[in-house]
Structure 1
Amino acid sequence: MAVLVTGGAGYIGSHAVAALLEKGEEVVIVDNLYQGHRDAVLGGKLYEGDLRDADFLGKVFQENDIDGVIHFAANSLVGESMKDPGKYYHNNVYGTLCLLEQMQKAGVSRIVFSSTAATYGEPERVPIDEYDRTLPTNTYGETKLAMEKMIRWFEVAHGIKFVSLRYFNAAGAHASGRIGEDHQPETHLVPLVLQVALGQREQISVFGDDYATEDGTCIRDYIHVSDLADAHILALERLRKGGESAIYNLGSGNGYSVKQVIEVSRKVTGHSISAKIEPRRAGDPAVLIASSQRARNELGWSPKREKLEDIVTSAWDWHRSHPNGYEK
């Protein structure tokens, strides 16, 4: 029996593939390589193609004895989603519909969905709980919420059980040093800061230093990418054991400010890392931290790499050895 990982050549997906392989699982990967990288796939059977191609996806299910699906494939840039919402609805929502329809035809009844804490929008309280209001403030979060709802209705109609995992910022790299974070364009804070240390950009922009936080900069929740991968596998194991469908937040439990990320990066890299204070960005909440207590209690998940210094160190090891990402 195989696990199908959609978007398995992407950043988080490739780490999930690596973790599955380490557990001796048979792995099938579907990725159109639009944002993914062939070199990020450490094993398994890779199919290059798009979820929206029914003939292609049907062939994947026909050729493999698939036991469950871990679904990462989605566009995920907030700014882009606001400029081109149609792209996000077509790829994220319609792509998920195509996947669910093929699962239904093939009789596959388990899916772990890599969602986002952007489904909550502006939080009513911190840390955010799974039962808090969902009111996305951008198209990306809205499409992810629509995907969650669609999956739930497929459970009602067709018995497809699911676990949806909501989280904020993935960071770090695999312990082997073979896979890491390589986005084009890059929008995540940790790799952007490390690009300054690598001499690839002059400075890092800090958008606002007058927030109601200890140092005036925004606080966010950072999770090591391998801890995220572990959570997806634990969720699949829950479904395999007959567990009910559920939604879980994932978080380290520790929020770090932008200035703290920069200071830790200076310590880890030994570089000064120039920073420039810029005006606030519209819609940036002061603090975003998710409570992961339910995931800890019901999935038995707990992050093994909670310290920011450990997360940044693993990211730095990757970027220093792969200054141009996966380019040869």
Structure 2
Amino acid sequence: MTRLYYRPILRFGELPTPDSFPLAGGLCWFERAIVLDRTGGRRRIPAGDLPEDVLARLTTPRASICGLDMRRPQVMGILNVTPDSFSDGGLFDKPEMAIAHARAMQAEGASIIDIGGESTRPGAGVVSVEAEIGRTAPVISAIREGSDVPISIDTRKAAVGQAAVAAGATMINDVAAFTYDPALLDVAAQAGTPVCIMHAQGTPETMQADPRYDDVLLDIYDFLEERVAAAEAAGVPRDRIVVDPGIGFGKTLEHNLTILRGIAVFHGLGCPILLGASRKRFIGTIGGGADAGDRLGGSVAVALWGARQGVQILRVHDIFATKQALDLEWAIGGAAMT
């Protein structure tokens, strides 16, 4: 039997119709959905005709993550304490600079800080466990001393995750979906922290060589579904799992655009969605901006698109501009819902 996938056709900022359903407890809603399959079939159906289990996963409010309300988008600030990240490598690799930047991002509106000590840009190599802990754990500890802001550790390694949690991290974000070091899932399960499961094809060293998919949207859906099941089996409940389709991680420009157009399909997993597209190369290719720092407008545009598609967490470099745009979008669109 051909497997079917369902993407809600989402709307925001208008009065819902009598035949519509709310998405995941937020302000987005849908009255129709697109049915997809691997033969290339596409057809629209009324939302009320969706299978009961699918409709339940689409409409059930998401539990809070690190105390953050998933009914509206939350801004995750990026803090790379590395010398070689693609956008801000070397800017915050000194502890005092990293701590100051974390505080500045929180003041600008970041509701969670994501700290990484190993670059995962295309072509980046592996950093030793000792070096990665040395870069991240002291910064997490220092931030925690003066703030209760949620902190996510961006790592693929169990020992790094363990040290980060001990230092005060409250979430584990793994670009390898806990396949690089499966013991990292045990760290999360034992600590009771939420996790973010991201899709990547290949490793940072090789992922952009020649990425290929049978169907990029559905291949990623199947991968994330399998990894969510693996996390549950390891003791991490679904209500503590976030999924990320991995924009730019083993994807061409057209792959990235296809994911963004169809990102609402991932709501069918019943987990909050994280979107990390900030300053990435495809934004400069389409909109101009050879330097990553020149991609602010495009990054905000992609973030707003994600928000209108019900994405719950937006991982960005430019906190103030993104938060300002979201606040205006919600003030205008939310007012229409009252």
TM-score range, shorter chain: 0.3 to 0.5
Q: Normalising by structure 1, what TM-score?
A: 0.33
